[in-house]
């Protein structure tokens, strides 16, 4: 069982993310060769070549896709064109749009380029027109018409003194425009398909054009005639001249004649000698697939490895190529060796695993036949070729240097990573499944065998040789030792137990099965079947500590099963959709699950509680894996994002403990400040702690001192604006309670007195707070009004009482003068409909000698906190005069009643009832 001292994980935070930065379109490299500019939907991303990370992202405000962009040759100005027919000029280093103007094109812009002076911008539209813009003086200089169809290519002659512009449209010809006369001076015809690129010699006298008609043409620009037509036998997307100043004998260049490099549909770079039309060098194809498992090593047109761009980097003697799968590859001249690989777009990521010593790399299976190995430190990638169809799953052996993959091409492959060079080689392969291989698992103790599950409903066990080669020179062919018909539908997942003796399988037939992996001659033996899921099972995993199997299903649940009796121990429900992957963490005491809802959930098995939900993906999370130290996890989703998460449980715990220590110190400091009567610092400290109750205590302490209200006013006026904002918010909360409403009203009085409405409305949330003050303030005013009315009644009764047996001389003193007590009446008034007037008038009619009887319920109703706000002052002033007259008349009539003996008993009985209601502790026997 797990250690009792084990700390449960509570949270993960994003450590790093691999996101798509290029989704097709134009790519351009800065003149200093430090940055790559590439299109990605509504953005132009600026990628730093050294780190492989996006440092700037220029995004359209209108959320429209960018159709083209151009960077000036001095790396200062970036201009983008979108589908809204707007041209925007950017300061790309600051990410700010400095200018925006309407393009005169009637349809979107297809191509753009700057001249060598970075002052003229040429735009080619889909309407067949070309327009030139002076970006400094900000006006259109030329409007060139005559090109049929979409102008997909525009280039300035490198000699700006000639003022020539070259363009190509859908008629497969090249037009030369004289900008001095705004006329087309020449049409160069040689290609029979779309012209894709132009390359000029340093002296500007020669130009090389490439096309998808599988030829390159060398032009003499002085005579404007084709000097040579070179058949290259592939659709060429880009042509580049070899930079001068380097010895290229390594790649077969032995003369000083013009040489150029082509990149096209075959996916390799080739060097051509223009004078002889001969290919002097061709790159070797990527690792060819072995016979029997592929369609051979020859690339056909339209292959995803075909090249779409080739960009020269003459300063550093490098070339950058872009593949059809949006990968950017950097080659070093003169040997054309791969220096760096950057993946622009991963499409759907289907599986991911940590790889290498210290889990420094991750191996990724995407919606492609290629496997990508990323270095987490630099985001550089190594692209592995071998499978001929989509790779569906990968798994890594315990030591982390060897991993396996399976794909739709019905094969499995074993790969080895060289710990010194970090290069990965395919060292073994096997083909015997009859359908796509959807799941694969490695042995856990030793690198001895592999288990695969396929859509042909079978499970196969592949034994690995004792000695596995280090490179792909001696690739081993694997043969399946055991083949077992396991399920009635696709096998979605297989897993190997920690002791390598058991195998579990999960299928689309809603069943999970447990198999015994015995001796080689025994094969697989079925031990039991786990039944309970309502839909297909996506993942099965063994617990690393207990005899428990976990399964996840498309019914949105995760179940734990006992391996002894095959019973369901626990069920976890929380995902709103299919649970695609799961794994054990914290030594088998917790679970991590990922679903098609894009969420990753952390569960504590003992309590069945979902501790944390991680939300960083927008689509199905197919990949989930943990590091060997159990401190990181990696997730991969169909939204093309790969996210590395770090366990921050200990960090959050330490941070919380540090916060508590700071809080304790601040509370002690606050106590000292209150003791020293440094109210301003105490109030500021209490507000910084964000503890409304502590702030209220400070306010109460200020008011209880000498000149409390004046001291409170001076203290509040010295606060900063943000502190006053907090005070106003606190007052809104305090005002809802009768115990703290007086302190709240005292603060509000100061703020309303000394702050203008304009200043109050500048406070954050001021309108909401002020609106919240109004209803409770009205209730408190009504409550105080009722209390004052009740106190008037008690005051009246006090004047009607005298001590029994007092001398007759005191009878005259019984008629107490009520004038001094009138000062107790509030200056503000009550509602005209208050109960005092009505009660007084009714009592005058019945018996003017005594007030009306009151029960405890009626008295509580008069004291309750309810009702309305501020009353009408001038009306209540008159009401108070009436009440005083009633009191005086009642006093005179009471003295007359004392002389009438026949009413004595009735009056005494009534007074006794009142005595029971009032019950003053210092009174003995009283008479009325």
Query: In the 8-state DSSP scheme, what is residue 717?
Result: H
93 or 886: whose pLDDT is higher?
Answer: 93
For the cut 50, the answer to whether the pLDDT of residue 742 exceeds it is: yes
Q: What is the pLDDT of residue 883?
A: 39
Helices 766-799 and 741-754 cross at an angle (nearest 10°) of 120
Q: What pLDDT is stored for residue 803 in this prediction? A: 60
CA 66 from centre of chain: 24
Which residues are CB-contacts of 445 (< 8 A; sequence separation ≥ 6)? 398, 498, 499, 500
Arithmetic mean of pLDDT over the chain: 81
**Which pLDDT value is given to residue 702?**
84
Phi-psi region of 410 (alpha: psi -120 to 50; beta: other; left: phi over 0): left
The H or E element spanning position 36 is strand 35-40
In angstroms, the CA 36 to CA 583 distance is 38
Please give the C-alpha separations between residue 221 and each of 122, 153, 185, 206, 227, in angstroms, as whole numbers. 21, 18, 12, 6, 10
Burial class (CB in 10 A: 0-12, 13-18, 19+), 303: middle
Contacts of 83 (CB under 8 A, 6+ apart): 64, 65, 67, 108
The dihedral sign for the CA sequence 179, 183, 185, 186: positive
Element (H, E) at 757: helix 757-761
Tell me: pLDDT of 543 over 70.
yes
Q: What is the pLDDT of residue 671?
A: 80
Query: What does the pLDDT look like over 408-424, one tens digit per residue?
Result: 999 999 999 888 888 89
What is the predicted pLDDT for the residue at 672?
83
Identify whether the C-beta of residue 478 lies closer than 8 Å to the C-beta of residue 464: yes
Contacts made by residues 39-44, CB under 8 angstroms, sequence distance 24+: 39/66, 39/69, 40/344, 41/65, 41/66, 42/66, 42/82, 44/69, 44/78, 44/80, 44/92
Position 618 pLDDT exceeds 80: yes
Of 925 and 623, which is predicted with more confidence? 623
Proportion of the chain in helix, strand, coil states, percent, rounded to 5: 25, 35, 40
* Predicted pLDDT at 801: 80
Interval 117-131: pLDDT, tens: 999 999 999 989 999
DSSP secondary structure, 830-887, as one string = --TT-HHHHHHHHHHHH-TTSPPP--HHHHHHHHSS-S-----HHHHHHHHHHHHHHH
The string of pLDDT tens digits covering residues 835-868 is 333 333 333 333 433 334 433 343 334 333 333 3
Query: Which residue's entry shows tokens 């319920």?
Result: 857
Q: What are phi and psi of 416, to 5 degrees?
A: -120, 135
Residue-wise pLDDT for 668-692, tens only, equals 887 888 788 787 888 888 888 777 8
Token duo for residue 913: 């009832």
Handedness of CA 98, 102, 105, 110 (dihedral sign): positive
How far is it, in rounded angstroms, from Cα 54 to Cα 45? Answer: 6
Query: Is residue 471's pLDDT more than 80?
Result: no
Which pair of structure tokens corresponds to residue 166? Answer: 């070259």
Q: Which of 9-23, 29-43, 546-560, 663-677 bottoms out in mean pLDDT, i.e. has the lowest?
A: 663-677
Q: Please give the Cα distance from 621 to 618 (Å, whole number).
A: 9
Give yes or no for residue 466 having a pLDDT over 50.
Answer: yes
More confident residue, 248 or 555: 555
830, 789 Cβ separation under 8 angstroms = yes
Q: Summarize pLDDT for 486-524 with one digit per residue, the tens.
A: 999 999 999 999 999 999 999 999 999 999 987 666 678
Q: Cα separation of 173 and 544, whole Å?
A: 68
**Does residue 320 surpass a pLDDT of 80?**
yes
Whether the Cβ atoms of residue 599 and residue 612 lie closer than 8 Å to each other: no
Report the first-to-last Cα separation within the chain, whole angstroms: 86
pLDDT band at 718 (very low <50, low <70, confident <90, very high): confident
The percent of residues in the chain predicted with pLDDT above 90, rounded, is 42
> What is the average pLDDT across 758-777?
82
DSSP labels, 489-503: S-EEEEEE-TTSSEE
Q: How confident is the model at residue 559 (pLDDT cuts 50, 70, 90)?
A: very high
Q: Which of 258, 269, 152 is closest to 203 using CA atoms?
A: 258
Q: What percent of the chain is predicted at pLDDT more than 70?
A: 83
The pLDDT value recorded for residue 720 is: 84
- Per the model's pLDDT, the better-predicted residue between 829 and 395 turns out to be 395
Cα(557)–Cα(567) distance, rounded to whole angstroms? 16
Provide the H-helix boundaries in 486-600. Answer: none
Contact indicator for 482, 501 with CB cutoff of 8 Å: no
d(CA 214, CA 266): 11
pLDDT (0 to 100) of residue 907: 42
Give the pLDDT band (50/70/90) at residue 918: very low
Rounded to an integer, the average pLDDT of 903-914 is 40
| pLDDT tens readout for residues 38-66 | 998 889 999 999 888 889 998 877 778 89
Return phi, psi of residue 618, to 5°: -110, 0
pLDDT average, residue stretch 173-188: 92
Q: What is the mean pLDDT of residues 254-262?
A: 88
pLDDT for 875 equals: 37
Averaged pLDDT, 19-23? 90
Q: Specify the range with the lowest mean pLDDT, choosing from 169-173, 653-657, 888-892.
A: 888-892
Q: 50 with 34: CB under 8 angstroms?
A: yes
Give 438's contacts (C-beta < 8 A, 6+ positions apart): 392, 393, 406, 453, 454, 455, 490, 491, 492
Look at residue 640 and tell me whether its pLDDT is greater than 80. yes
Least confidently predicted of 23-37, 154-168, 385-399, 678-692: 678-692
Bridge pairing between strands 381-384 and 371-375: antiparallel
Stronger pLDDT, 168 or 243, i.e. the higher one: 168
Look-up: residue for tokens 């005494």?
908
Q: What is the pLDDT of residue 804?
A: 60
DSSP codes, 619-673: S-EEEEEE-TTSSEEEEEETTS-EEEEEE-HHHHHHHHHHHHHHHHHHHHHHHHH
Enumerate residues 6+ apart whose C-beta is below 8 A from 391. Answer: 350, 351, 365, 366, 368, 369, 370, 371, 405, 406, 407
Length of the chain: 928
Burial of 719 (0-12, 13-18, 19+ CB in 10 A): middle
Strand pairing partners for 13?
A: 646
833 has a pLDDT exceeding 80: no
Of 12-26, 425-439, 635-649, 872-886, the poorest mean pLDDT is in: 872-886
Edge-first strand order for the sheet with 381-384 is 349-355, 361-366, 371-375, 381-384
Please enumerate in sequence order all residues whose Cβ is within 8 A of that of 52, keeping only pairs 6 or more positions apart, or say none. 340, 342, 378, 379, 380
pLDDT tens across 282-294, in order?
888 765 444 344 4
CB 108 within 8 A of CB 83: yes
Q: Please state, in angstroms and rounded to a whole number, the distance separating the CA atoms of residues 928 and 911.
A: 6
On the CB side of 715, CA atoms within 13 Å amount to 25
Pairing of strands 424-431, 476-477: parallel
Which alpha helices (H) appear in 199-313, and where do they start and end? none
Distance (Å, whole) CA 847 – CA 853:
12
Q: Could you tell me the pLDDT band of residue 7, with boundaries at 50, 70 and 90? A: confident
Q: Which string of DSSP letters, residue by residue, matches 379-448?
A: --EEEE---SS-EEEEEE-TTSSEEEEEETTSEEEEEEE-TTT--EEEEEEEE--SS-EEEEEE-SSSS-
Query: What is the average per-residue pLDDT within 159-181?
Result: 92
Q: Reply yes or no on whether the pLDDT at 654 is more than 50.
A: yes
Residue 175's pLDDT band, with cuts at 50, 70 and 90, is very high
Say which residues have a Cβ less than 8 Å from residue 24's Cβ, sequence separation at least 6: 39, 326, 345
- Is a pLDDT exceeding 80 seen at residue 785? yes
Is the omega angle on the peptide bond into residue 124 within 30 degrees of 0, that is, cis? Answer: no
| Residue 180 clears pLDDT 80, i.e. is over it | yes
Mean pLDDT of 725-744: 85
Structural tokens at position 800: 């009607």
Residue 774 has pLDDT above 90, yes or no: no
pLDDT at 567 over 90: yes
Q: What is the mean pLDDT of residues 902-927?
A: 39
């Amino acid at each position: 069982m797990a250690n009792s001292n084990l700390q449960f994980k509570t949270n993960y935070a994003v450590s790093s993310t691999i996101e798509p930065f290029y989704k097709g379109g134009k790519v351009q490299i800065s003149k200093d060769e430090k940055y790559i500019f590439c299109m990605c939907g509504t953005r132009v991303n600026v990628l730093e070549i050294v780190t492989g990370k996006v440092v700037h992202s220029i995004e359209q405000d209108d959320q429209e896709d960018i159709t083209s962009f151009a960077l000036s040759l001095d790396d200062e100005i970036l201009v983008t064109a979108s589908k809204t027919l707007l041209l925007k000029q950017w300061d790309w280093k600051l990410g700010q749009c400095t200018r925006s103007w309407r393009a005169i094109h009637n349809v979107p812009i297809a191509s753009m380029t700057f001249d060598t002076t970075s002052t003229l911008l040429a735009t080619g539209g889909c309407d067949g027109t070309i327009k030139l813009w002076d970006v400094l003086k900000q006006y259109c200089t030329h409007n060139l018409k005559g090109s049929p169809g979409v102008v997909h290519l525009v280039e300035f002659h490198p000699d700006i003194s000639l003022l020539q512009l070259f363009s190509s449209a859908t008629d497969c010809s090249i037009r030369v425009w004289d900008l001095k006369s705004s006329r087309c001076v020449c049409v160069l015809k040689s290609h029979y398909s779309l012209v894709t690129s132009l390359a000029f010699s340093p002296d500007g006298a020669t130009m090389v054009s490439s096309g998808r008609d599988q030829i390159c043409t060398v032009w003499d620009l002085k005579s404007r005639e084709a000097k040579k037509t070179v058949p290259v036998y592939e659709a060429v997307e880009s042509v580049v001249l070899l930079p001068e100043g380097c010895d290229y004998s390594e790649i077969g260049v032995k003369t000083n004649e013009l040489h150029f490099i082509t990149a096209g549909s075959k996916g390799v770079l080739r060097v051509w000698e223009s004078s002889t039309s001969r290919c002097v060098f061709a790159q070797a194809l990527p690792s060819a697939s072995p016979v029997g498992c592929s369609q051979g090593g020859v690339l056909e047109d339209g292959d995803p490895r075909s090249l779409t761009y080739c960009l020269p980097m003459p300063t550093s003697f490098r070339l950058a190529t872009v593949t059809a799968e949006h990968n950017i590859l950097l080659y070093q001249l003169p040997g054309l060796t791969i220096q760096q690989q950057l993946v622009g777009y991963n499409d759907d990521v289907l599986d991911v695993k940590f790889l290498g010593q210290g889990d420094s790399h991750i191996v990724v299976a995407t919606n492609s036949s290629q496997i990508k190995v990323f270095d987490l430190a630099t985001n550089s990638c190594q692209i592995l070729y071998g499978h001929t169809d989509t790779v569906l799953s990968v798994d890594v052996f315990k030591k982390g240097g060897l991993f396996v993959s399976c794909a739709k091409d019905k094969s499995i492959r074993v790969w080895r990573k060289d710990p010194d060079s970090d290069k990965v080689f395919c060292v073994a392969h096997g083909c015997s499944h009859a359908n796509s291989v959807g799941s694969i698992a490695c042995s856990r103790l030793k690198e001895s065998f592999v288990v695969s599950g396929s859509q042909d409903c079978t499970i196969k066990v592949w034994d690995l040789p004792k000695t596995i080669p280090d490179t792909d020179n001696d690739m081993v062919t694997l043969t399946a030792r055991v083949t077992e018909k396991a399920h009635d539908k696709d096998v979605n997942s297989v897993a190997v137990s920690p002791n390598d003796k058991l195998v579990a399988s999960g299928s689309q037939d809603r069943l999970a099965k447990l198999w015994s992996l015995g001796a080689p001659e025994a094969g697989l033996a079925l031990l039991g079947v786990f039944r309970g899921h309502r839909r297909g099972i996506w993942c099965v995993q063994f617990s690393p500590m207990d005899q428990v199997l976990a399964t996840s299903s498309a019914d949105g649940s995760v179940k734990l099963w006992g391996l002894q009796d095959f019973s369901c121990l626990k069920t976890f429900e929380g995902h709103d959709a299919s649970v695609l992957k799961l794994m054990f963490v914290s030594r088998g005491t917790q679970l991590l699950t990922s679903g098609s809802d894009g969420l990753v959930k952390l569960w504590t098995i003992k309590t069945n509680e979902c501790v944390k939900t991680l939300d960083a993906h927008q689509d199905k999370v197919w990949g989930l894996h943990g590091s060997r130290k159990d401190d990181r996890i990696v997730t991969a989703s169909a939204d093309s994002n790969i996210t590395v998460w770090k366990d921050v449980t200990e960090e959050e715990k330490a941070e919380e403990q540090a916060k508590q220590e700071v809080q304790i110190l601040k509370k002690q400091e606050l106590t000292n400040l209150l003791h020293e009567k440094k109210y301003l610092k105490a109030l500021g400290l209490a507000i910084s702690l964000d503890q409304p109750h502590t702030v209220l205590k400070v306010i109460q302490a200020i008011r209880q001192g000498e000149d409390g209200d004046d001291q409170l006013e001076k203290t509040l006026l010295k606060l900063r604006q943000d502190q006053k904002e907090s005070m106003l918010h606190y007052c809104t909360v305090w005002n809802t309670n009768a115990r703290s409403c007086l302190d709240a009203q005292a603060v509000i009085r100061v703020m309303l007195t000394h702050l203008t409405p304009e200043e109050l409305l500048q406070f954050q949330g001021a309108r909401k707070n002020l609106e919240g003050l109004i209803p409770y303030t009205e209730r408190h005013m009504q409550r105080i009004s009722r209390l004052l009315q009740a106190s008037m009644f008690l005051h009246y009764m006090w004047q009607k009482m005298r001590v029994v047996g007092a001398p007759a001389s005191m009878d005259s003193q019984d008629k107490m003068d009520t004038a001094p007590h009138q000062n107790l009446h509030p200056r503000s008034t009550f509602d005209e409909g208050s109960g005092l007037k009505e009660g007084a008038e009714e009592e005058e009619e019945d018996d003017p000698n005594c007030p009306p009887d009151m029960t405890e319920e009626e008295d509580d109703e008069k004291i309750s906190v309810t009702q309305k706000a501020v009353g009408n002052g001038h009306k209540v002033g008159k009401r108070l005069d009436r009440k005083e007259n009633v009191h005086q008349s009642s006093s005179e009539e009471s003295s007359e009643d004392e002389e009438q003996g026949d009413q004595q008993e009735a009056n005494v009985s009534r007074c006794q009832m009142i005595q029971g209601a009032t019950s003053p502790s210092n009174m003995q026997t009283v008479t009325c």
